Structure 1
Amino acid sequence: MSNADASHFSQLEKLRGFDFWDRSLRAARHVVAPMVDQSELAWRMLSRRHNAHLCYTPMLHSSVFIRDLSYRKESLATCEGDRPLIVQFCGNNASTLVEAGLKCQHMCDAIDINLGCPQSIAKRGHYGAFLQDEWQLLKEIVSECHAKWSIPVTAKIRIFPSITKTVEYALMLEEAGAQLLTVHGRTREQKGPLTGLASWAHIQAVRQAVKIPVFANGNIQYLDDVRECMKATGVEGVMIAEGSLHNPALFDGVNPFVWDIIEEYLELATQYPCNLTFVRGHVFKMCIHAFDQYNSWRMKLGECKSLEAVKSVVNDFMGVLKADEQRYRDNPELFDFGSLKYPYWMCQPYVRPDPNAKTEEPSDAKRQKILSDAQLKNGLPEALQRLSKKKLKKALQKPHKSMSNIETPGRGKFEMCVECKSNARGLKCERECCKVCCKRLAVELSSNCSAHNFYYNKSTVRRKLEKVERDDNSVVGAMASST
């Protein structure tokens, strides 16, 4: 069979649209999103245990995936039970994305193009949501991937402020060859403190306009929100991101104790090793409300350098939370959880504060943290009390490190270089010069400075001086000939 015949055969066999969703994705309704450094194999397996029907890999960089074998192995670790699975790539070049997809299409059920990332790194790399205005480029990317891959191409997008333009955008991607769309109901500008609520009206309009399956993303904190979203928008499935990170059992409709779910995750992280940064990040997200009460344990977690260290810190911290839970059972009147729906030792959503809301005084948790920070600073030397919060944190994390530089916030009043009289001189420079002037003098004087330490030996100095002399002679000769 020729390559052309094989390509034609694969196109005939490739499932599309609702057939693809029903058969390859097993009619998935509960979907865990692609999250950078957060959707690794251990987390996906935990999510599948708790009623997630479909998982995405973390967002992978297509160009790095092509050229770096170790990146491919680490970022796309999978196992037999890790299906159905969709791999997500970011990129802005059709041929690069096609090549990346060809290297992994045998390991997954579909490949997703990230058109929704709103972060500054996506803006610098020119991918994600910062491609949503370049429709011709996106047509080329999606159509090429659809033509060359043996599995379907899908896309995750963000909305435009206009419902009409959002619908036109979705129809363009469908026409180009996308077999499923995930619509995040927020604009590119809705991120960080400006996140706000997602628009289900936009998602509903897309669902009614296209003839392919649609997943909704946004405003999901509990299982009831999943049901309400599907009813309001008519989508085939609902994708969760932060909701999963704070409560991996969200699709089960329960809010487990953090010690139960963390123990389960750490067992999987041992079975399916991953970067320690991922592990610490997951533990932090699941304990975010508990860390508001016990900030010192947050710092202890951040200092962990191995999985065993994480397990040890978590084990001790869970003992503290279990003691709180027992005291609550005996004397519930002693506890005030503020705006939390459940006690802080249970998995539950984290709600970002409204940037437009003005509160006259901080919450109890914030007040406690301010007081603890003040008490902490009062017990420190006067020099350290003047540090910013960032420098103080560094000083406390590395108590054995010399404080000679960190005790003085900034350079303060610095002296000028005695040569150029424009740059600040080096604090320990023997010539009281800046780096540039000290380097020049090291050549001219054949003398090294122990502070700047340029290590100019005699032969190097001689060659440089000879070059200076030749340049001077050539200038003098040119002047003589001109006269």
Structure 2
Amino acid sequence: MEKLSGYEFWRQKLKSAKYIVAPMVDQSELPWRLLSRKYSAELCYTPMFHAALFVKDNHYRKESLVTCDEDRPLIVQFCANDPETLLKAAQLAEPYCDAIDINLGCPQSIAKKGHYGAFLQDEWDLIEKMVSICHKELTVPITCKIRRFACIKKTIRYAQMLEKAGCQILTIHGRTREQKGPLTGLADWSYIKAVKESVNIPVFANGNIQYLSDVERCLKETNVDGVMTAEGNLHNPALFNGISPLIWDMSLEYLDFAEKYPCAMSAIRGHIFKICHHALQTHVEIRNEIANAKNIEEFREMVDKLKKACQVRDLKQLFSVYISSNLPLPYWRCQPYVRPDPNADLDPEKKIERDKLTKKRAAERNIVGLENISRKKLKRMLKNPNKNFLTPTRQVYVMCTNSEINCLNPRNIRCAYEFCKPCCMKKTREETLDCAGKDFYF
């Protein structure tokens, strides 16, 4: 069967999908994809898989790529920095999906350390080889997910290079590699529009999608073929339906899928935290219990407990909490989380609290005598003051100086002759010498 490409592939195989669930590390697993499909998602991506591990580790491969007949159309995403390794991984995955995607957009520190994702975007020759070899050798199309450059012309040239190399669908995030964490900010759709106008393959937009109205606005403003969402989907998997269900109903639906198609407890816990994020800011004690849940039944119990906690409050109290939260909907409804702007003006009282917290953390660092310690390690150290969390300095061993036999043992630091223990013992015996450091006296 001839391999479809470009718009032919998008229309026939992907059924002209425009509502798309993004690839998310440890979060777009099978139960979540099925829940999203139930609420109008038309195309889903797997979590990002590490190509080298996928090739070498059979257990990792089986645990990662779990799918079923209802889980189509499906695109499998890999991160890689070697064309041959990527090809081998893609060939193992292609029987179970409709396309293979290359992650060229991950901006996290793990991607920088592993040399993949957005940290490859300056190595066009390498990227071109990876796309080209997959385009030529695979039986399914190759697609790419990228982030924009600061320069719009460079972003366009980048997209055109990928198209020429064989990319059949391009997803572009409207943020740069540096826009992450507290510096996330807004995605710039003008870059996405410019890319769409400069290539002849389907383009998906990513960034700033929190409600169905954002999807429709993005389609209209950029003229893209589909819109992808990650965080918006995590907080409300019914986003593409344009509704905001009760958080406990959505959580229990997800747990039903997770029970039918088992997955990692860490993934389940992450989803419950995301769905119930706003409610858990009010009911903090239940948040701690969810963090310690060990199986699906315990998660169900915690969700039910959260439901009762929300319902037992009298309406007046609920209304006051809702008003003070500045949320567009009551906190027991699925809705997006908006990161606070670190540059926004704070109320005087909040600014004082923030300054106090900053001073407190600085004082805590002075107590332990470390300036660059992470907050996570600092908390562990303060909670367990008798435990040594400091990484010991690795000892550098000096080799034995016995040149007669070319000894490869480490030298004993107390030996008067700078020998290892066996060589020192032999020397002192044969030559009737003393070694005070080793207590050898002849």
TM-score by structure 2 length? Answer: 0.82
Q: What SS does the corresponding residue of 1:336 show, helix, strand or coil?
A: helix
* Distance of aligned partners of 1:410 and 1:237 in 2 relative to their CA distance in 1, 3 Å threshold: same
* Distance of aligned partners of 1:185 and 1:392 in 2 relative to their CA distance in 1, 3 Å threshold: closer
Q: What is residue 384 of structure 2 aligned with on the other side?
A: 406
Report the alpha carbon displacement of residue 306 of structure 1 after superposing the two structures with TM: 2.1
* Distance of aligned partners of 1:63 and 1:289 in 2 relative to their CA distance in 1, 3 Å threshold: same
Contact 1:56 1:87 in 2 (8 A): yes
Report the alpha carbon displacement of residue 410 of structure 1 after superposing the two structures with TM: 7.7
Q: What SS does the corresponding residue of 1:219 show, helix, strand or coil?
A: coil
Q: Greater Rg, structure 1 or structure 2?
A: 1
| In 1, Cα distance between equivalents of 2:122 and 2:110 | 17
Q: Does 2:48 align with 1:56?
A: no
Q: Does 2:334 align with 1:347?
A: yes
Report the alpha carbon displacement of residue 35 of structure 1 after superposing the two structures with TM: 0.1
| In 2, Cα distance between equivalents of 1:346 and 1:74 | 32
Amino acid across the alignment from 1:48? R
Report the alpha carbon displacement of residue 67 of structure 1 after superposing the two structures with TM: 1.0
Q: Pick from 424, 434, 437 the counterpart of residue 468 of structure 1.
A: 424
Q: Which runs of 5+ in 2 are unaligned?
A: 358-373, 390-411, 434-442
Contact 1:337 1:344 in 2 (8 A): no
The alignment yields a C-alpha RMSD, in angstroms, of: 3.0
| In 2, Cα distance between equivalents of 1:342 and 1:114 | 34
Q: What is residue 265 of structure 2 aligned with on the other side?
A: 276
Amino acid across the alignment from 1:273? P
Number of residue pairs matched?
391
For residues 141-290 of structure 1, what are the structure 2 equivalents within 5 Å?
A: 141-290=130-279
* Distance of aligned partners of 1:410 and 1:27 in 2 relative to their CA distance in 1, 3 Å threshold: same
| In 2, Cα distance between equivalents of 1:329 and 1:227 | 36
For residues 306-321 of structure 1, what are the structure 2 equivalents within 5 Å?
A: 306-321=295-310
| In 2, Cα distance between equivalents of 1:229 and 1:476 | 89
For residues 380-419 of structure 1, what are the structure 2 equivalents within 5 Å?
A: 406-407=384-385
Contact 2:279 2:332 in 1 (8 A): yes
Report which stretch shifted further, 176-185 or 334-343. 334-343
Report the alpha carbon displacement of residue 348 of structure 1 after superposing the two structures with TM: 0.6
Q: What is residue 110 of structure 2 aligned with on the other side?
A: 121
Report the alpha carbon displacement of residue 52 of structure 1 after superposing the two structures with TM: 0.2
Identity score, percent:
52
Q: What is residue 356 of structure 1 aligned with on the other side?
A: 343
Amino acid across the alignment from 1:467? C
Report the alpha carbon displacement of residue 208 of structure 1 after superposing the two structures with TM: 0.3
* Distance of aligned partners of 1:474 and 1:273 in 2 relative to their CA distance in 1, 3 Å threshold: farther
| In 2, Cα distance between equivalents of 1:96 and 1:187 | 27
Report the alpha carbon displacement of residue 15 of structure 1 after superposing the two structures with TM: 0.4
Amino acid across the alignment from 2:424? V
Q: Which runs of 5+ in 1 are unaligned?
A: 1-9, 371-387, 396-402, 412-439, 445-462, 478-483
TM-score by structure 1 length? Answer: 0.75
Report the alpha carbon displacement of residue 358 of structure 1 after superposing the two structures with TM: 2.9
Q: What is residue 328 of structure 1 aligned with on the other side?
A: 315
* Distance of aligned partners of 1:340 and 1:464 in 2 relative to their CA distance in 1, 3 Å threshold: same
Q: What SS does the corresponding residue of 1:351 show, helix, strand or coil?
A: coil
Contact 2:24 2:48 in 1 (8 A): yes
* Distance of aligned partners of 1:392 and 1:100 in 2 relative to their CA distance in 1, 3 Å threshold: closer
| In 1, Cα distance between equivalents of 2:429 and 2:250 | 79
Report the alpha carbon displacement of residue 407 of structure 1 after superposing the two structures with TM: 4.7
Amino acid across the alignment from 1:231? K
Amino acid across the alignment from 2:212? L
Contact 2:322 2:331 in 1 (8 A): no
Q: Pick from 66, 70, 78 the counterpart of residue 81 of structure 1.
A: 70
* Distance of aligned partners of 1:335 and 1:39 in 2 relative to their CA distance in 1, 3 Å threshold: closer
| In 1, Cα distance between equivalents of 2:378 and 2:81 | 41
Contact 1:247 1:347 in 2 (8 A): yes
Q: What is residue 455 of structure 1 aligned with on the other side?
A: none
* Distance of aligned partners of 1:299 and 1:334 in 2 relative to their CA distance in 1, 3 Å threshold: closer
Report the alpha carbon displacement of residue 300 of structure 1 after superposing the two structures with TM: 1.2
Q: What is residue 68 of structure 1 aligned with on the other side?
A: 57
Amino acid across the alignment from 1:359? L
| In 1, Cα distance between equivalents of 2:196 and 2:222 | 7
| In 2, Cα distance between equivalents of 1:352 and 1:362 | 20
Amino acid across the alignment from 2:323? D
Q: What SS does the corresponding residue of 1:104 show, helix, strand or coil?
A: helix
| In 1, Cα distance between equivalents of 2:293 and 2:428 | 60
* Distance of aligned partners of 1:472 and 1:360 in 2 relative to their CA distance in 1, 3 Å threshold: farther
| In 2, Cα distance between equivalents of 1:335 and 1:204 | 37
